[in-house]
Amino acid sequence: MGVGRLFEGFITILIGVNLVPSVADQVVAAQAGNVTGASASMLGLVTLFFVIGIMVAGVNIAVGGLQDVGLI
């Protein structure tokens, strides 16, 4: 069970990393419109927030797997 959760965490990270270019392309396309000021700044940070979210989710799942095995 614990090894499965470890693999689940790594698969989550792997899929998220493969989706980052698509998210970044969509952010650039959205910035090409009439977005100014604080909205443009927040829109520029969407890719960063996406990467941080994927990283946190993957690490949480992997740490849960390590706890199930008894290593943490």
C-alpha to C-alpha distances, 58 to 30, 33, 62, nearest whole angstrom: 27, 33, 6
Torsion of CA 44, 21, 63, 7, to 10 degrees: 170
Stretch 10-39: mean pLDDT? 89
C-alpha to C-alpha distances, 39 to 45, 50, 51, nearest whole angstrom: 10, 17, 19
Radius of gyration of the chain, Cα coordinates, nearest whole angstrom: 16
Mean per-residue pLDDT over the chain, rounded: 86
Residue found by looking up tokens 């990283």 in the block: 55
In this prediction, residue 24 has a pLDDT band, given cuts at 50, 70 and 90, of: very high
Q: Is the pTM of this model over 0.75?
A: yes
Reported as a single tens digit per residue, the pLDDT across 48-64 is 999 999 989 888 887 88
